[in-house]
Structure 1
Amino acid sequence: MPTTRDPETFSRLDAPFAVGEWEVHARSNEIRRGTRRIKLEPKVMQVLCFLAARPGTVVSREELEAEAWPGMVVTYDAVTSAIIKLRKALGDEARHPRYIETLSKSGYRLIAEVRGGVQDPPDLPAGRAARAPWPIALRSLAAFVVLSLIAVWLLPNGSDPTVSDGGGTVPTSGHIPGIAVLPFVNLGAVPEQDYFADGITEDLITDLSKLSGLWVVARNSAFAYRGGTESEPAIARELGVDYVLKGSLQRSADRIRINVRLVDGLRGSNLWAERYDRQIDDLFALQDEIAASILSAIEVEIAPSDRARLGRSHLASIEAYDAFLRGLDHYGRRSHQDTQMAIDHYRRAIAIDPEFARAYAGLALVYVRDAVDGWDLGAEDGLAKAEELIARARALDRMIPQVYFVQGQIDLYRRNYGAAIRSAEEAISIKPNYADAHALLAWILHFAGRADDGLVSMERAVRLNPRVPAIYRLVRGALHYENGDIDRALADFEAAVDMSPSFQLSRVWLAAAYAAADRPGDAEWETREILALDPGFSVSHVRRAFPIRDPIYRERFLDDLRRAGLPD
């Protein structure tokens, strides 16, 4: 049976210790059994050591994230990926575990015996060349480059709380007030109602984001503070905003109770607070009332064009809206099962209310990502379904920005650069604070050969989403790489890989950037990562799949990949 140990002893790793049949050498990131040696990634080793310090104890996903990725908000699959790699190395099985047990909705528990001790902290290997190979399952090349972004862009992505220019915001001319809407707390007796509280929060962020006279922190950065203990002034300083909105929600069968508090980010004092107790059927009117009260409290003027954006063209039934929020929740969990459940909930919302345009747009996003992940549809089939759905959504409501976001991705994939740019700009015109649309525009401009313009768009995206998701790192790194600024490109690519371990696209650019930086060892290591699970991946595939317009840039990119060891 496992023995209880002081967790602090495992934070200082020097002497080997044993877990079950394996000897663990943290300093060299190796596990050994007899003559067999297996190299682990540093992050995977950290997870193993953290579990080994607590044998027999359930360790939550959040605890593992805090230990292995301190100060970062990582993708949902970061811990899962580390556990999968750890089980594979140990020869363990999830269904019949001998080493690591998964407890649904609770976390993980090391059930193998732990023996031996540890002393001083190891000097972890420096640089990329010291890391163990990380499996990369490259998807269908037809949609590999462009569409894989959709699979990451609209999710809670892996993020880094720092920004390379030294702050959480990008300077702008004149002062536009900023606000962060933190995730509402579900006070209901049913924890499964968290999706509803999250959906209400996201809708409020979306409504406020349509205003040109206010800048609103993106969902990804705001939701990073879920369950945190930071004070409102601390959060305001980190995000560079003037105001912080906090709230709680309790839903019963036919009623909803919401408490909302708007805090001055500088002083920490309440500017406005209200408690609402309404019939559930009044939910949409209540959302509008809360948004109006916020704008009144911070004295934001609403331009005529903003009023048009704020109007609701269609009020869905509460039953359809509930199904829509369930679909949104499952969409964000990113697994095969959750994707199918998202499709089912969106379809149910449409069946209940065939005029509910947002449900069509949500379903279009799922189908595009589904094509990327290759679970049920080919890339072209997924694109065709997505186009059909967004056409229906546009016919019902032309003011849904996600419609143009998806269209921009499809246009880029088909190398219609002008149309792709116009689609991204249309999404921004509807929702000026749409951080992901600004990042999408930067990505399109990168492929269109307009790197300098793309960097300007990325500055806007980072200002709105200051915890800088991994996907933004990739886009900004590609823009720097296109401009020949290899040092900055490498910083972004490496951060993207660290924040989102399964984010395969960034590794292709990272290999090219290493070659450009005359670091052949690192470049060849990244290429081995690619070829390990996809032996057929080649330069010719990249030429076909990556929609790079400028032939000079395209050939430089391909030459760097050849120098990295990627076969023709």
Structure 2
Amino acid sequence: MCSAASSDRYLVHGHTVTPATCEIASGDTVTRIEPKSMEVLVYLFAHQGSVVSREQIHDAIWGDVVVGDDSLTNAIIKIRKAFGDNARNPNVIETIPKRGYRLIAEVTTPKPPVAKQSFGWVWVSVVLVLLLLGSVAITLFPRTEAAAPQIKLQSDAQTRIVVSPFVNLSGDASQDYLVLGMEQTVVTGLAAIPHVSAMQSHPRINQADYRLEGSVWPTENRILIHTRLLDGEDGTVLAIHRHDRAYSDLLTVMTEIETTITSDLSLEIEQANLSAQARGYTDSVEAFDLFLQAQAALLPRDRSGTSLARTLYERAIARDPRFARAYGGLALVHAAEYRNDWAEDNNLALNRALSMAGTALSIQPNLPEQYWVIGYVHTQRRQLEDAETALHKALALDPSHADALALLGGIRTYAGQPGKSIPLLRKAMRRNPGAGYLYFMLLGRAYYYLGDCGQAQINLHEAARRNPSNLETRLYMAACQVQFGEPDEAAWEVEEILGQEPEFSLTGFLRTYPMEDDGQITMLTRDLKLAGLP
């Protein structure tokens, strides 16, 4: 692309497109776009009139290179700018919400100029031959009218809302957990609404129909929340709302925010779907506050944080025994204690995890994250098929559930198919570019077993930067250093592991590690023994 190797040209919406030079011309105006943008455009030419998903374009243009949604979004923006196309009233590229893009403009190729001939008899011969060929073609291939393209409404088309980080206006850092928890709760509540896809914001997410911004000012007795709904394309402010309520009405405010958004977007939603109970939450403000504290404590996935999270979840359940999401959080705590060998009785911890997740679903059966928890527990029990079944249920309830995709990718590695992990993990990263360390660790692990420690270390270092205390990341970094022939670096990683867990042993780790492939277990054991791990 953008070389003299290609001589093709296309006529599109009054413009001449020349891929060889990456130029889009209209009259005397010539716009040159980047090679990747031109590749995207030519790919759309090849699928003119068809909806092409973002994943298909990513795979075709970028292949195995992990890039964010912004790469494709920027390419589309540049293409539209070159054509003078309007995203709201497109003539060239149409955005199909939650589906992808469709090239709606007609694409033709210019007719080459006919060279003049000085011999009249040559023209006579050419005309006679063409007439003869034409009569044969008409006989063999009778003319048929081209079928008009049928436009089908996509029943799963969704409104995509990105929720920007809520701002804590109080200046009190001890309230950060509350503000973050409110932001996450709004995302979860919006995602549960039919025909709405909601996710937390990240610099790599640019493609959205709408963007929600919020600021929170909690005081001792009251809470003040401002929200703004913006157009996702041009940033136009569409609506501003102010919620000033007593702190005891916190959950009512959360429902109000979702109600005003659905009203602003003219979405026909039954208000019953917006209640706290319908979304697996609670009507108890005290229980909800404990739940948010537990979520914050669980994020680092270290021993002390996990222990604190368990206490907070249990206290939340004591305040409201029908708090479905608190049971789900407690299930995750028990599974983490089993996985890291922190429980006094590992089998009991795993059984409790499954019991807590089941309790959450018996209270509220439509919670995708609870199916994720069940998938995680089945994975730790080495019941990989049952785990995949649960994860597919999570994705059926929420197709944008990135954690479910990531865990499916992790399971493929456990099953000895690391090559199948990578596409799932890349897709999860595109769905949730702001995800924590775990996605990078899983990707690094898959590359390690594929024998590509160069790519493995890139992802493992990113995982370690995001969570320096994760031992599994350190284990694979040590194994890769052995592969690189760097024994000193491998030994340093082992020192880091033993510094965090002095009693750590490879035998104990593998006892609860759900790796099913004997060849991969042998590979990891060999490298970690060479690194000096006891």
Change in Cα spacing, 1:239 to 1:212, as seen in structure 2 (3 Å) is farther
Instruction: State the AA in 2 paired with 1:400.
Output: L
Aligned match of 1:198: 180
Per-residue Cα deviation, 1:368-417 (whole angstroms, up to 9, x for no partner)? 33455666744334323323322222221122333222222221122111
In the alignment, which residue of structure 2 is the partner of 1:51? none
SS at match of 2:66: coil
Q: Does 1:248 align with 2:215?
A: yes
Corresponding residue for residue 163 of structure 2: 181
Q: Is 1:208 aligned to 2:175, yes or no?
A: no
Name the counterpart of 1:262. Answer: 229
Task: Answer yes or no: is the 8 Å Cα contact 1:368–1:382 preserved in 2.
Answer: yes
**8 Å CA contact retained: 2:280, 2:325:** no
1:333-372 paired onto structure 2 within 5 Å: 341-371=308-338
Q: Secondary structure, in 3 states, of the residue corresponding to 1:432?
A: coil
Matched, 1:487 2:388: no
Native 8 Å contact 2:339 2:380 kept in 1 = no
2:422 to 452, 455, 474: 455
Counterpart in the other structure of 2:199 = 217
Contact 1:263 1:269 in 2 (8 A): yes
Q: Does residue 436 of structure 1 match 2:403?
A: yes
Distance (whole Å) between structure 2 residues aligned to residue 164 and residue 402 of structure 1: 29
Q: 1:466 aligns with which of 433, 436, 451?
A: 433
Shift of 1:475: 0.3
Task: State the identity %.
Answer: 32
| Structure 1 position 316 matched with structure 2 position 283 | yes
Query: Which of 386, 391, 402 is 2:353 aligned to?
Result: 386
Q: Is the 8 A contact 1:211 1:302 kept in 2?
A: yes
State the alpha-carbon separation in 2 of the partners of residues 553 and 385 from structure 1: 30
Q: Structure 1 residue 502 and structure 2 residue 428: aligned?
A: no
Measured after TM superposition, the shift of residue 518 of structure 1 is 4.5
Instruction: Using the TM superposition, give the Cα deviation of residue 202 of structure 1 relative to its aligned residue in structure 2, in angstroms.
Output: 1.1
Shift of 1:330: 4.0
Bigger shift: 335-344 or 265-274? 335-344
Residues 548 and 315 (structure 1 numbering): CA distance in 2 closer, same or farther, change over 3 Å?
closer
Distance 1:262 1:382 in 2: 44
Letter in 2 for 1:361: G
Structure 1: which 5+ residue stretches go unaligned?
Answer: 1-162, 223-234
TM-score, with normalisation over the residues of structure 2? 0.61
Cα deviation for residue 184 of structure 1 reads 2.5
- Which shows bigger deviation, 543-552 or 453-462? 543-552
8 Å CA contact 1:170, 1:462 repeated in 2: no
Alignment-derived partner of residue 515 in structure 1? 482
Instruction: Output the amino acid matched with 2:317.
Output: I
| Equivalent position amino acid for 1:181 in 2 | V
C-alpha RMSD of the superposition:
4.0
* Structure 2: gaps (5+ residues): 1-63, 73-97, 102-157
Q: 1:213 to 1:170 in 2, by over 3 A?
A: farther
Deviations 1:345-364 (A, max 9, x none): 43333223222222222222
Secondary structure (helix, strand or coil) at the match of 2:68 reads: coil
Q: 1:193 offset after TM fit, Å?
A: 4.3
Query: Which of the numbers 59, 66, 74 marks the counterpart of 1:165?
Result: 66
* 2:258 corresponds to 1:276: no
Q: What is the alpha-carbon distance in structure 2 between the residues aligned to residue 533 and residue 330 of structure 1?
A: 18
2:444 maps to what in 1? 477
* Residue in structure 2 matched with residue 412 of structure 1 by the alignment: 379
State the alpha-carbon separation in 2 of the partners of residues 190 and 556 from structure 1.
49
Decide whether aligned partners of structure 1 residues 419 and 238 sit closer, same or farther in structure 2, where only a CA change above 3 A counts: closer
Residues in 1 aligned to 2:454 and 2:171: alpha-carbon distance in whole angstroms: 51
Aligned residue number for residue 108 of structure 2: none
Indicate conservation of the 8 Å contact 1:215/1:464, yes or no.
Answer: no
Query: CA offsets, 1:112-146, max 9 Å, x none?
Result: xxxxxxxxxxxxxxxxxxxxxxxxxxxxxxxxxxx
Query: Secondary structure of the residue that 1:424 maps to in structure 2?
Result: helix
Check conservation: 1:214, 1:300, Cα contact below 8 A.
no
SS at match of 2:412: helix
Does the CA-based 8 Å contact 1:474-1:493 persist in structure 2? Answer: yes
What is the SS of the residue equivalent to 2:100? coil
Task: Find the residue that maps to 2:523 and give its secondary structure.
Answer: helix
Look up the equivalent residue of 1:207 and give its one-letter code.
G
| CA apart distance, 1:473 | 1.0
Q: How far off its partner does 1:521 sit?
A: 4.8
Return closer, same or farther for 1:539/1:343 CA change in 2, 3 Å cut-off. Answer: closer
Please say if residues 255 and 274 of structure 2, whose CA atoms lie closer than 8 Å, have aligned partners that are also in contact.
no
Q: What SS does structure 2 have at the residue aligned with 1:271?
A: strand
Correspondence 1:558 to 2:525 = yes
CA distance in 2, matches of 1:519, 1:253: 56
